[in-house]
Amino acid sequence: MVTPVRRANNRNDRLLDEAARLFAAQGYRETTMRDIAAAAGMLPGSIYYHHPSKTELLVAVYEKGVEGLCQRFDAAVAGVADPWERLGKALDVHLETVLDQSDYARVMVRVLPEHLPGSAQELARLRDGYEDRIAGLIDALPLNGGIDPKMLRFLILGAANWAQTWYRPGMTSPAEVARQFLLIVQRPMEGSVG
Amino acid sequence: MVTPVRRANNRNDRLLDEAARLFAAQGYRETTMRDIAAAAGMLPGSIYYHHPSKTELLVAVYEKGVEGLCQRFDAAVAGVADPWERLGKALDVHLETVLDQSDYARVMVRVLPEHLPGSAQELARLRDGYEDRIAGLIDALPLNGGIDPKMLRFLILGAANWAQTWYRPGMTSPAEVARQFLLIVQRPMEGSVG
Amino acid sequence: MVTPVRRANNRNDRLLDEAARLFAAQGYRETTMRDIAAAAGMLPGSIYYHHPSKTELLVAVYEKGVEGLCQRFDAAVAGVADPWERLGKALDVHLETVLDQSDYARVMVRVLPEHLPGSAQELARLRDGYEDRIAGLIDALPLNGGIDPKMLRFLILGAANWAQTWYRPGMTSPAEVARQFLLIVQRPMEGSVG
Amino acid sequence: MVTPVRRANNRNDRLLDEAARLFAAQGYRETTMRDIAAAAGMLPGSIYYHHPSKTELLVAVYEKGVEGLCQRFDAAVAGVADPWERLGKALDVHLETVLDQSDYARVMVRVLPEHLPGSAQELARLRDGYEDRIAGLIDALPLNGGIDPKMLRFLILGAANWAQTWYRPGMTSPAEVARQFLLIVQRPMEGSVG
DNA sequence: CATGAATGAGTATTCATTCAT
DNA sequence: GATGAATGAATACTCATTCAT
């Protein structure tokens, strides 16, 4: 039994996949519509049937990236109560997704909203869908006196995002990076060790 | 007594300053030779007297960026013996320079070697002049068992570099960010406190 | 009793109406098949069921424009014997139709045959169906010595067509414009007035 | 003795000449930057050194068109006192320039401000530099009761501009067309003939 | 040292048209 | 009759770079 209805969608899915791969690997500006079209097996003009502009194509990729990351995040922390354990799961998901599994997520890390003046707000709004989850998670941590949760969040997200610039498959597993990062920032709960 | 050689140098200095400012603010690809020329008060063609290509202009900026950051680093840690205190000074210098004081350093953080395939090696070599200093400093830290100094270095540099994406003047001082980051990663040596 | 044939025709009528409206308002080149399709509530490809090309669509609009204008003209001058009075009626019809009532007629004035090299002859032939009526009407005028009826026709038609470039609803009525134009060109027959 | 300073200007003059010729012959939209570049003996990109956009190129052509027409107008009516004679001179200049002598003036007639939404105001402002002269000239005519000078102006300018659509060299001279148009609209001064 | 003028390869985008379903 | 998905050729425009002067 054939599924002819699906065919159309597959072409756009392919388009998004290739766009994500190229944006992640080369950057947004460095990737041309020709590059994407060629990779997706269509002509440059054909992209415009699916997406009205290069910017909107990026937004579509961003959207899928955020959605995927959020789903993985939600699934990973679901049912975990301990705040530090939740952070551990989140770091794990973030690093595995960004370093290993999703071009869409890689785009989110590589292409920053403020680098596309025209769509900065839209991209930032999408991004916040994920970053707010991280913020909530960190605000729930019992922190030693003097540590600003916002700064802890900036440090963790910064370190995790920056990993994309130095990580190469084969050196360590993303999970091991996550474990190390957690080890470094994890402080004993206030009063428990002294 | 006039020093005509000096005047020529000034033109190139101005050129580098404006290139650094624009590369830092808009990115390398997003900045055109026209932009730079206009900002430096010359015509596009005139840049080529001083630098053979846009890439080489970036390399020159990078070079000044590394040099400046290294000098500040060396001055800050000179005479400081305690390893954690040395890290504190380094974080301070890094964040103040990148967030507040030098467009050249900002370029180093925003433009990554691997984003310019043609000159990746040259830029990476320059970069290492600074990153090796950080590596040495972290290798000297007495770390709790289980913490990989390389991962600690990646975490610290990542968090520090990423600060450029969220920091806006007026929110906190770079020095305060440095203090918080140090506070988070600094662990008492296992078993001993003194 | 349903008349399905009629429904089909309605779709094409709607298509022609919207094409006429857009060609008149924006010009032929400036109007895209997408614009027309969207205005007519169909997809671009669907236009081609009714008309084989954009050019042929314009020809169809032109045809309706000429036909409508001729009908109005014939009705207006029917039964009027006095040549100047006939010219007055004609001016009235022309200006009211073009300035006020028919997008089809507006297209005839805005889109000139010689602007579409490929179909210039066909459009000119259609146009002549109307212009010949004006010519006949002017040739019947008793003119003062020295006035070339061809030049009078060019003057009148030029002034009337050009009105579309300056006329805006609300400034004067098309009928008043027609009255003024007639007043200006109408000369008493040489020597005789009766 | 060579005049090297002139050379640069000549290229831009050539560019404007060819742009005017093509805009007049084919229309603005129908003329591509490639067409113009090829006609001027340069590459398409080179046009942009002289003019920042196609629209601005048109504005430059328009400007020269208005300027030329105004100069000829001023020279023709200078020292002529009789209002009707002044109108005759003006019609002569207008028709000869537009039909016979200047591609720049032809562009003014063929490309209407309202057809280029983006630059309508700028083009209209330029145009008014000339049309105000005509208005002043017609307002000075002693008209028979009942004739609105504004309508007379619209009629004359419309007829004169529209001449471009039917006039072909060899049929009559522009001067003869001017003479006929004047003859048609010229009314005896109020009360002088009865 | 610097400029004015140009180049040529490339960029995103447009649009009339086609055609299997 | 109509549509969804494409095509392909063209369009205005950009930009690093060159080079005679």
Mean pLDDT of C146-161: 96
Q: What residues of chain D lie within 8 A of the CB of C180, using their CB? A: 147-148, 151-152, 155
Q: Which residue has the higher pLDDT, A11 or A178?
A: A178
Q: In which band, very low, low, confident or very high, does the pLDDT at B117 lie, cut at 50, 70 and 90?
A: confident
With CA atoms as reference, report the closest residue to B112 among A33, A161, A16: A161
Q: What is the mean pLDDT of chain A?
A: 91
Mean pLDDT of D123-142: 96
DSSP assignment, residue A79? T
Cβ neighbors of B60 (< 8 A, separation 6 or more) are B16, B19, B51
Q: Would residue B90 count as lying in a domain?
A: yes
Residue C93 in contact with residue C76, Cβ under 8 Å?
yes
CB neighbours of residue D18 within 10 Å: 20
| CA dist., res. B31 & res. B35, Å (int) | 6
Chain F bases closer than 7 A to any CB of the protein: 1-21
CA triple D133-D135-D141, angle to 5 deg: 110
| CA dist., res. C24 & res. C5, Å (int) | 29
For B129 and E3, how far is CA from C1' in angstroms?
A: 38
D103-110 and D4-26 helices, crossing angle to 10°? 40
With CA atoms as reference, report the closest residue to D151 among C154, C153, C163, C149: C163
Distance of CA A15 to the CA centre of its chain: 19
DSSP string, chain C: ---HHHHHHHHHHHHHHHHHHHHHHH-TTT--HHHHHHHHTS-HHHHHHH-SSHHHHHHHHHHHHHHHHHHHHHHHHTT---HHHHHHHHHHHHHHIIIII-HHHHHHHHS-GGGSGGGHHHHHHHHHHHHHHHHHHHHTS-PPTT--HHHHHHHHHHHHHHHHHH--TTSS-HHHHHHHHHHHH--PPSS---
Cβ neighbors of A19 (< 8 A, separation 6 or more) are A31, A36, A40, A57, A58, A60, A61
Residue C181 in contact with residue C91, Cβ under 8 Å?
yes
For chain D, the chains sharing at least 3 beta-carbon pairs closer than 8 angstroms are C
The enclosing domain of C140 has a CATH number of 1.10.357.10
Q: Would residue B19 count as lying in a domain?
A: no
Indicate if the pLDDT at residue C3 is higher than 50: no
Residue B170, φ and ψ in degrees, nearest 5: 105, -25
Q: Is the CB of D129 under 7 A from strand F?
A: no
Q: Would residue B145 count as lying in a domain?
A: yes
Q: In which band, very low, low, confident or very high, does the pLDDT at B188 lie, cut at 50, 70 and 90?
A: low
Q: What is the mean pLDDT of chain B?
A: 90
- Predicted confidence (pLDDT) per residue in D166-182, tens digit: 999 999 999 999 999 99
For C41 and F8, how far is CA from C1' in angstroms?
A: 26
Return the beta strands (E) in B7-117 as ranges: none
pLDDT at C146: 86
- Predicted confidence (pLDDT) per residue in A81-120, tens digit: 999 999 999 999 999 999 999 999 999 999 999 999 889 9
Task: Examine chains B and D and say if they touch (3+ CB pairs below 8 A).
Answer: no
Its pTM surpasses 0.95: no
Contact flag A161-B163 (C-beta cutoff 8 Å): no
With CA atoms as reference, report the closest residue to C24 among C8, C13, C35: C35
Tokens of D114: 């309202």
pLDDT at D146: 86
- Predicted confidence (pLDDT) per residue in B46-58, tens digit: 999 999 999 999 9
Indicate if the pLDDT at residue C117 is higher than 50: yes
Q: How far apart are the first and last CA of chain B?
A: 61
- Tell me how many domains chain A contains: 1
For chain A, the chains sharing at least 3 beta-carbon pairs closer than 8 angstroms are B
Residue B21 in contact with residue B103, Cβ under 8 Å?
yes
Q: Which range (A26-35, A93-102, C139-148, D32-41) has the least confidence?
A: C139-148
Chain E bases closer than 7 A to any CB of the protein: 1-21
| CA dist., res. B31 & res. B26, Å (int) | 6
| CA dist., res. D31 & res. D15, Å (int) | 13
Q: What is the CA radius of gyration of chain B?
A: 19
The 3-state secondary structure of chain D, one letter per residue = CCCHHHHHHHHHHHHHHHHHHHHHHHCCCCCCHHHHHHHHCCCHHHHHHHCCCHHHHHHHHHHHHHHHHHHHHHHHHCCCCCHHHHHHHHHHHHHHHHHHHCHHHHHHHHCCHHHCHHHHHHHHHHHHHHHHHHHHHHHCCCCCCCCCHHHHHHHHHHHHHHHHHHCCCCCCCHHHHHHHHHHHHCCCCCCCCC
Q: How distant, in Å, are the alpha carbons of B87, C70, D59, D66, D160 from that of C159?
A: 86, 19, 26, 21, 8
Q: How many CB pairs under 8 A join A and B?
A: 85
Residue D124 in contact with residue D186, Cβ under 8 Å?
no
| CA dist., res. B46 & res. C61, Å (int) | 57
- Predicted confidence (pLDDT) per residue in C69-85, tens digit: 999 999 999 999 999 99
Cβ neighbors of C150 (< 8 A, separation 6 or more) are C135
Tokens of D91: 């019609």
pLDDT at B18: 96
Q: What is the CA radius of gyration of chain C?
A: 19
What is the residue range of C80's domain?
Answer: 55-185
Residue B177 in contact with residue B161, Cβ under 8 Å?
no
pLDDT at C188: 61
Q: Would residue D111 count as lying in a domain?
A: yes
Q: In which band, very low, low, confident or very high, does the pLDDT at C4 lie, cut at 50, 70 and 90?
A: very low
Indicate if the pLDDT at residue A48 is higher than 80: yes
Q: Would residue C103 count as lying in a domain?
A: yes
Q: Which residue has the higher pLDDT, D8 or D163?
A: D163
Q: In which band, very low, low, confident or very high, does the pLDDT at B106 lie, cut at 50, 70 and 90?
A: very high
Q: What is the mean pLDDT of chain D?
A: 91
Q: How distant, in Å, are the alpha carbons of A48, A178, B122, B155, D171 from that of D182?
A: 56, 91, 79, 88, 19
For C30 and F1, how far is CA from C1' in angstroms?
A: 28
CB neighbours of residue B96 within 10 Å: 19
Mean pLDDT of A173-190: 86
Cβ neighbors of C4 (< 8 A, separation 6 or more) are none
Q: What is the mean pLDDT of chain C?
A: 91
| CA dist., res. A88 & res. A92, Å (int) | 6
Q: Would residue C37 count as lying in a domain?
A: no
Indicate if the pLDDT at residue C6 is higher than 70: no
Mean pLDDT of D86-110: 97
Indicate if the pLDDT at residue B5 is higher than 60: no
Residue D111 in contact with residue D23, Cβ under 8 Å?
yes
Q: What residues of chain D lie within 8 A of the CB of C30, using their CB? A: 29, 115
Q: What residues of chain C lie within 8 A of the CB of D160, using their CB? A: 158
- Tell me which protein residue sits closest to nucleotide E10, measuring alpha carbon to C1': A32
pLDDT at C145: 74
pLDDT at A188: 59
| CA dist., res. B69 & res. B74, Å (int) | 9
Q: How far apart are the first and last CA of chain D?
A: 68
pLDDT at C118: 87
Q: Would residue D14 count as lying in a domain?
A: no
Q: Is B130 left (phi over 0), alpha (psi -120 to 50) or beta?
A: alpha
For C184 and E14, how far is CA from C1' in angstroms?
A: 47
Q: Would residue C177 count as lying in a domain?
A: yes
| CA dist., res. C99 & res. C92, Å (int) | 10
Residue C86 in contact with residue C140, Cβ under 8 Å?
yes
Mean pLDDT of B25-33: 96
pLDDT at C10: 82
| Smallest CA–CA distance from B23 into chain A, residue | A115
Mean pLDDT of D23-50: 96
Tokens of B166: 């969220």
